[in-house]
Amino acid sequence: MKKLLEIKNLNTIAEDDPNKHILKGLDLDINEGEIHVIMGPNGSGKSTLANTIFASPRYIVTDGSVVFDGEDITHSTTDKIAKKGVFMSFQTPEEIPGVSLAQFLKTMKHSITGERPNLYQFIKEVEEDMRELGMNHDYVNRDFNVGFSGGEKKKNEILQMLLVNPKLAILDETDSGLDVDAIKTVSRGIDLYKNEHNAVLIITHSTKILSNLKVDKVHILVDGKIVKTGDGSLASEIENNGYQEFI
């Protein structure tokens, strides 16, 4: 299998507090066709890892490297990383008043591919994906995420993932705050997206989103380092026993 993401000895500090070391020599490899899960207690560095891969200015890499699809992206910019094929969903999706969901999706597709989408084909694709995710089609004419429920915002994130079809999808607590039905829908979206040529990195506190997915590896992140890696059963172990033995 081809290695898609290779992180070696990654160290980061917070931009607003240079004395705050968050990631401390983190290593992680993800191959094409795999689903990886990051779990860990609050403050362990899970979201920092996702944001560092995506070049958030809030975090500064002091050592180590992030290589994606054979290219070092450690000090690249977010737009270039997205165009190379990395997608990230957010714990708390932003609202954009004055910009409709349809406008956002078309602009997003154009920005990533560099080509204006065929309008008929694009509308058909959006309708099909919204139907699969159980989203009301009327939402395409509403302002982006404005007035959306928590579940609809998270489904919107998965809709964007399906339309962009990235090589790597990083899902940062996409299941947070969702009811059982919404979690099943999000899992369905991940299953629709997943194939042998892409990969998924799921950051979560819960095993519910994993129940309908074939997880390849689960990593436990504590105090900025991955302290244990296992198969899907490790998530169930954490669900039952917590993180005490790793702290």
The predicted model scores a pTM of: 0.94
Q: How confident is the model at residue 117 (pLDDT cuts 50, 70, 90)?
A: confident
Q: Number of folded domains in the chain?
A: 1
Summarize the confidence of residues 74-85 as an average pLDDT: 95
Q: Which domain holds residue 149?
A: 3-246
Q: Is 24 exposed, middle or buried (0-12, 13-18, 19+ CB in 10 A)?
A: middle
| Cα separation, 46 vs 243, whole angstroms | 14
pLDDT by residue (tens digit) across 30-62? 999 999 999 999 999 999 999 999 999 999 999
Residue 44 parent element (H or E): none
| Cα separation, 204 vs 210, whole angstroms | 9
Closest CA to 159 of 183, 180, 190: 190
What would the two tokens of residue 60 be? 């500064």
* The predicted structure's pLDDT at residue 92: 87
Summarize the confidence of residues 74-97 as an average pLDDT: 94
Summarize the confidence of residues 95-114 as an average pLDDT: 93
| Cα separation, 183 vs 86, whole angstroms | 22
CATH label of the domain that carries residue 146: 3.40.50.300
β-strand partners of 126: none
Q: Do the beta carbons of residue 187 and residue 213 sit within 8 Å?
A: yes
HEC per residue, 148-170: CCHHHHHHHHHHHHHHHCCCEEE
